[in-house]
Amino acid sequence: MVYLFYARLIGLTAGTLVYLFLIALILGHRRPRLFERLLFFLVLALFLIYAGGLLEINAEIQYTWPPEATRWLSEALLALGLALIPPLVWHTHYAYRRQIRGSRASVFSRALLVSLYLLSFTEMVAGARFFWPWFAAGAHRYLLVGGRGLPLIALMDAVFEFQDWRAAEGKKECALFRSLFFVSASLTVLLALHRGLAVPPSLPGAALAAAAVWVGLLPGALLIYYALKHNFLEYGAQRNLVYALSATFLALLYLALVHRISGWLAPVFPPEATASVLLFVLIFLFEPLERLIGPVLHERLRERMDRTQRLSIELQGEARHGDLARLLERAEGLIRQEFGLAAVRISIPRDPALKPLEGPGGLGHAARIPLVKDGREVGLLEAATTGAFLTGETTAALEFLAEQMPAMADLCRLIEEKLRLERELAERERMAMLGQMAASVSHNLRNPLSSMKTILQLQLENRDLPEDVRHDCALLLEEINRMNAKLSQLLTFAKPTAGRGQRTEALALAKQTVELFRHDAERRNVIVEFQAPEEEIAVRASEEALGEVLSNLVVNAIEAQPDGGRVRLCLVRKGERVEISVEDSGPGISAEMRARIFQPFFTTKASGTGLGLAIVARRVEEIGGTIACESPLETGKGSRFRVTLPQAPAREKAPIP
């Protein structure tokens, strides 16, 4: 019986420490999710049970007759923990399935959960009587669920664990729930046998009680193992918290051992002298502990640096794709996954307008590491945790990656520029071939077309020509003019423009373009508006190129409204750029069409060539500007084309003689 008593004492002590360790781990993680909150309260309930049992058994050792206050406190801890266990077991499993796996509970499950919470609350209210001395006699009738239904609670937990085991997808998750199932099943058998014994203080009853204490701490031990070994729920990433908790618990255990040995030797040796000797012994343990722990920490650091090096090599391979946005997105994802962080953001270049990165719900710690190149800051790496501060090894690894990121970004830009030049060269070669083909086609077609046009014009001058023949000749003449216009458009698209650095008065050219097409627009019942700026605006482009951009956009907007409408041309200066916008009130452009409207020979018109917007895009690119299409607009229809072009510097005024 004495050995079983001390087995139960050690088991209660270990269980208290295990669940206290889990409480600190979950609090350090501080993830603002329902499952983490419920898991915290479930672990807290188990801690209260073990802490109440530990207080009770220590009171038996310390006092012959434990004081009433101590007995009340231990029973209160046990009662509170046992009352919370049934609903929290159900609710925690329900939250895990909903949050991690996305499953939903039935109406029956929710009703049962509410019933368990109500029953638990009723038990706690009824048990509150035992805090008052005159109701002490009713304390033993407390906890109908916790006291008499513990085997049923353990069985319910085993059923949940079995379902989670069968539904688990990963090997680690499957192994965890399989182990938890066997632990819960074993605890069910032990509690059922213990409740079936008529005399609990007997040897079998004491053995079963001690075994139940030890089996009851195994779920906490399993959670700690999978959290540290396999990073379950990302708790294992908090290495600094784990080391601090381990050192604290070891120190507490040693102090408890010092106190216990001092009490044992009190009849023959002063307790203060015993404590001094045992504390002095620690000095001689430092070197053996260093030899024991040093290689382990060194191996951990080496593994971390190897993984960081592999991560750096993977990111360098990603940089060779020549896409900086893709590199930064990939780097953020890999760093977040590798170090178990809540969020990672890499800004190259650094944007001062961005708010500092924070953890989920504003919790956690955020580290900000500048990206430095040649002594100047070129970006920022921000890493936010879900709870505790970053460990030293994680911070060192992030600083190492921060040193590598500017070089990776430069490599990415160089490859991106190389790919852009290669594409531009290939595009120039393609356009040169297209220009030669267009010139050859134009030369071989325009001469016969000119001859046909001349003959038709002469025929139309003949007054004796029959009316039906005259009508057919007029139709043929219109078709020839249309073919000539398409050939001219093809030549325009294939021929690059010169004079990119020239200065062109954009305001005057825009007014001229509006006046040129106003008559044709009125004939189609389209109103053309021009929002002119109050000051002169000039762009760095040739007059020919800017004229082609304006005319094609205005014509395209007019033709997009066969039933009439409105076209608005706006010209505005924005910093060192000039923005030209052409807006219409037509039916708009679908998302699928917007992706292809600037491609050559793509058109939705029955008689179109598909070169108008392609010419605009080509001229804008040659000038050094950008073009974008917005459709539909705020009204649900219409389209707006925005063109930004480099602004030409103002002319210097001649000095007055």
Residues 619 and 488 in one domain: no
Burial class (CB within 10 angstroms; exposed 0-12, middle 13-18, buried 19+) of 162? middle
Residues 413 and 428 in one domain: no
Cα-based distances in Å from 90 to 31, 114, 235: 21, 10, 22
* Residues 6+ away with beta carbon under 8 Å from 217: 11, 14, 15, 18, 19, 50
Residues 446 and 516 in one domain: no
Q: Which of 391, 421, 451 is the last residue of a domain?
A: 421
Backbone angles phi, psi at 580, to 5 degrees: -115, 125
Measure the N-to-C terminal CA separation of the chain; round to a whole number of Å: 119
Q: Which of 397, 421, 445 is the last residue of a domain?
A: 421
The CATH number for 19's domain is 1.20.1070.10
Q: Which of 217-226, 306-315, 348-357, 483-492 has the lowest mean pLDDT?
A: 483-492
Residues 11 and 125 in one domain: yes
Q: What is the pLDDT of residues 493-552, one digit of tens each?
A: 656 665 556 788 888 888 888 888 888 888 889 888 888 887 888 888 888 888 888 888
- Is 239 a residue whose pLDDT tops 70? no
3-state secondary structure of 499: coil
Q: Is residue 246 part of a domain?
A: no
Question: Which has more pLDDT, 394 or 10?
Answer: 10
pLDDT of the residue at 122: 63
* Nearest alpha-carbon partner for 613 in 623, 622, 603, 605: 603
- Is 184 a residue whose pLDDT tops 70? yes
Residues 459 and 483 in one domain: yes
Q: What is the mean pLDDT of the chain?
A: 77
- Is 143 a residue whose pLDDT tops 70? no
Q: How far apart are CA 509 and CA 537, in angstroms?
A: 10
- Is 141 a residue whose pLDDT tops 60? no
The CATH number for 400's domain is 3.30.450.40
The single residue listed with the structure tokens 């794709």 is 321
501 in Cβ contact with 546 (< 8 Å): no
pLDDT of the residue at 133: 40
Per mean pLDDT, which of 61-75, 347-361, 397-411 is the most reliable?
A: 397-411
Q: Is residue 256 part of a domain?
A: no
Q: How confident is the model at residue 101 (pLDDT cuts 50, 70, 90)?
A: low
pTM > 0.85: yes or no: no
Residues 412 and 444 in one domain: no
- Is 147 a residue whose pLDDT tops 60? no
Q: Is residue 406 part of a domain?
A: yes
**The amino acid at 285:** L
Q: Is residue 224 part of a domain?
A: yes
Q: How far apart are CA 541 and CA 625, in angstroms?
A: 10
Residues 27 and 136 in one domain: yes
Could you list the residue range(s) of the whole structural domain that residue 136 is in?
2-237
52 in Cβ contact with 81 (< 8 Å): yes
Q: Which of 202, 237, 272 is the last residue of a domain?
A: 237
Tokens at residue 289, please? 């502990």
pLDDT of the residue at 651: 61
pLDDT of the residue at 82: 80
pLDDT of the residue at 137: 35
pLDDT of the residue at 146: 40
Residues 435 and 455 in one domain: yes
The CATH number for 528's domain is 3.30.565.10
Q: Specify the number of domains making up the chain.
A: 4
Q: How confident is the model at residue 153 (pLDDT cuts 50, 70, 90)?
A: confident
Q: What is the pLDDT of residues 328-349, one digit of tens each?
A: 889 888 888 877 777 888 888 8
Residues 346 and 215 in one domain: no
Residues 458 and 557 in one domain: no
Q: Is residue 430 part of a domain?
A: yes
Residues 144 and 105 in one domain: yes
pLDDT of the residue at 592: 80
635 in Cβ contact with 583 (< 8 Å): no
Long-range CB pairs of 438-447, under 8 A, 24+ apart, other chains included: 438/487, 438/490, 438/491, 438/493, 438/494, 439/491, 439/494, 441/487, 441/490, 442/487, 442/490, 442/491, 445/483, 445/487, 446/484, 446/487
DSSP annotation string for 500-518: TT-EEEHHHHHHHHHHHHH
Residues 148 and 38 in one domain: yes
Q: How confident is the model at residue 1 (pLDDT cuts 50, 70, 90)?
A: low
Q: Is residue 453 part of a domain?
A: yes
Q: How confident is the model at residue 391 (pLDDT cuts 50, 70, 90)?
A: low
Tokens at residue 632, please? 């539909």
- Is 169 a residue whose pLDDT tops 60? yes
Share above pLDDT 90 across residues of the chain, in percent, rounded to a whole number: 2
Peptide bond into 67 cis (omega under 30): no
* Nearest alpha-carbon partner for 442 in 399, 483, 393: 483
The CATH number for 434's domain is 1.10.287
The single residue listed with the structure tokens 């012994």 is 281
pLDDT of the residue at 131: 44
Q: Is residue 384 part of a domain?
A: yes
- Is 199 a residue whose pLDDT tops 50? no
pLDDT of the residue at 386: 66
Q: Is residue 319 part of a domain?
A: yes
Question: Which has more pLDDT, 508 or 33?
Answer: 508
